Structure 1
């Protein structure tokens, strides 16, 4: 019987938790059919509880970074010895732990090492600035002991291969899967152009790297131009979430077209996708950029940061323009043209052919990870 260990002690929320749940859901079903044993090292079993899986719970590593590092590089070696005869050890959260296993792999989804942080990140989000400074070194520890790295996009594969001198044949591209309910809704949605008000949307969490301020500055520029047709910008921050959100609200709440809507649930997000004429996505760093995938299914205009992640996520979209995420004037110009009904800046983004190894689902991924 082959043993597969999934380690995810630092995963407790958001996209990484969704990945953990999807992974364990697949392995739970696989264990019903195959002669394999699945062991999951997690923060809490209740976060991703599935049958046919043995859980090792530990909350201690999440309390402090030094705890996490000690657990990854010291404690897990003892754990791997106690488990014994591990065929595959798959770390789902960037670090490559010191373990004893026949085969090792790590899921690399933290792209902060490619983020050019600024002074205001130290004020509003010091953790993100620290991630940007030290993620490279966290990745570097034990990275060459992995048989495979798993990433979500091809640009990430290229970057990891270049920085750490790893053969691209050992880096598997596993594209993210977006909300099918939203895309099903999109297929049956009529155009939202009937309203007199042109509506832009940026759905994101209130983190400084999301770069809400470039939209706010563009809105300020447009308001001064007294455009003939009214416009509105829906932002999914309220101003009360954290220091960054408070700063945004304090500086731009007086700009009439900006709607500081706050957090929205999935159903409300679907409604916003249907109601909005254009998605703006100015984030400076992402491992994917899920709203781009979801909104592109509506075949409506998108204005995206001119960065590798956005170009790859938007592949196949038909009405897209890219802008410098540091240039509010450029964004304002693109927005003004759309408000006026001009789509001359929009172009189709060609599909990207990604070289092997590539995995489009968990079955394909574990087939690669487990093959002899």
Structure 2
């Protein structure tokens, strides 16, 4: 006989790697630790192997659906057709879609986690031409977010600026700001640069995407290298990843100060912070900006894009300077000041987002399940 416990269903069939998968893994881990005695957990995943620690747990049901990953049409079929039948079979009390899409389902409480900022990013003509995927995401997610979004009891975003955008664009009021619950490896906080004597090392760990804005670092380095050769910049690309990175390598490989080291493991990225003197983070668009949080963990100086997401991620920190994302001469000036030890840090302030607000998965689940407790005595069910 199946458990009479209320059912929490978490859907993430399209998550297979990187940050989005880590979000789901962390969420499931916290739910299992704190709420599994009161609830039965059902996971809809791409592959069971992504959650090896749960295979022997009888209170967790893991169901594989690999086909939605094969194409966007199949993904839409799964979310808007197939999920309706899954919900009728499982009868979840809480349906938590953790990957941007609000499916057509019945549940007492419906939740969607939106972590793609592409609809709110203003594309340049060059980016439209060079990176068709970003152009597609910009319009696709603008459309996908809109479908069923008002049928959610909670819309979850990572920052206050995204809450404001969702409220303005989609006319939803029930938006929760939930900061990512980031757990960093245990590595010594103190920095121990391993560069040649007298050489100042900057780093920028990021994947090669046009909005990551590698160009401003490369232009600033080219400009600065003409008068100062006592620095190097480590970039985690090597030109093999895509056309964008290949074009960057071809144009700037002559610069002796640039080290193209390719994609790194999480452990090697943490080591890179301890072996560097300063983080540069020029990205034009982020949901959060994980390297900023990581650099803060290591008390590292930072030169950061003057963007809304960056100010919120930096929070209150005494080792940061902001620069305009398109101004390579301004960045070069800040780099020169960092090298010579004359960097004048900018004053920062922090305002905590208004409620509903969560600093961890535990707090977020507390908000969601408190609402379920209020609603469970009612007989009516939200209809897709």
Relative to the length of structure 1, the TM-score reads: 0.93
RMSD: 1.9
Q: Which residue does the alignment assign to 2:255?
A: 255
Which range is displaced more, 24-33 or 132-141?
24-33
Instruction: Pick the aligned partner of 1:68 from 75, 78, 88.
Output: 75
Q: Which residue does the alignment assign to 1:80?
A: 87
Matches of 2:181 and 2:199 in 1, distance apart? 32
Which range is displaced more, 315-324 or 87-96?
315-324
Which range is displaced more, 358-367 or 118-127?
118-127
Instruction: Pick the aligned partner of 2:66 from 36, 51, 59.
Output: 59
CA 1:248–1:268: 2 relative to 1, 3 Å: same
Instruction: Pick the aligned partner of 1:131 from 130, 134, 137.
Output: 137
Q: Please, which runs of 5 or more residues in structure 2 have no aligned partner?
A: 375-384
1:196 aligns to 2:190 (yes or no) = no
Q: Please, which runs of 5 or more residues in structure 1 have no aligned partner?
A: none
Relative to the length of structure 2, the TM-score reads: 0.90
Q: Which structure's relative contact order is higher, taking Cα pairs within 8 Å and 6+ residues apart?
A: 2
Matches of 1:315 and 1:93 in 2, distance apart? 26
1:298 shift after superposition: 2.8
Q: Which residue does the alignment assign to 2:369?
A: 370
Contact map agreement 1:235 1:261 (CA 8 A) in 2: yes
CA 1:29–1:296: 2 relative to 1, 3 Å: closer
Q: Which residue does the alignment assign to 1:311?
A: 311
Matches of 2:34 and 2:341 in 1, distance apart? 52
Matches of 1:80 and 1:354 in 2, distance apart? 33
Matches of 1:192 and 1:319 in 2, distance apart? 21
Instruction: Pick the aligned partner of 1:213 from 204, 212, 215.
Output: 215
Matches of 2:195 and 2:311 in 1, distance apart? 25
Matches of 1:90 and 1:238 in 2, distance apart? 38
Q: Which residue does the alignment assign to 2:113?
A: 107
Contact map agreement 1:24 1:48 (CA 8 A) in 2: no
Deviations 1:253-292 (A, max 9, x none): 1111111111122332222211211110011111111110
Deviations 1:21-63 (A, max 9, x none): 11122223345422x2111111111112412211221111111
Matches of 2:356 and 2:217 in 1, distance apart? 38
Matches of 1:4 and 1:218 in 2, distance apart? 50
CA 1:258–1:193: 2 relative to 1, 3 Å: closer
The 5 A counterparts of 1:331-370 are: 331-344=331-344, 346-370=345-369
Q: Which residue does the alignment assign to 2:381?
A: none
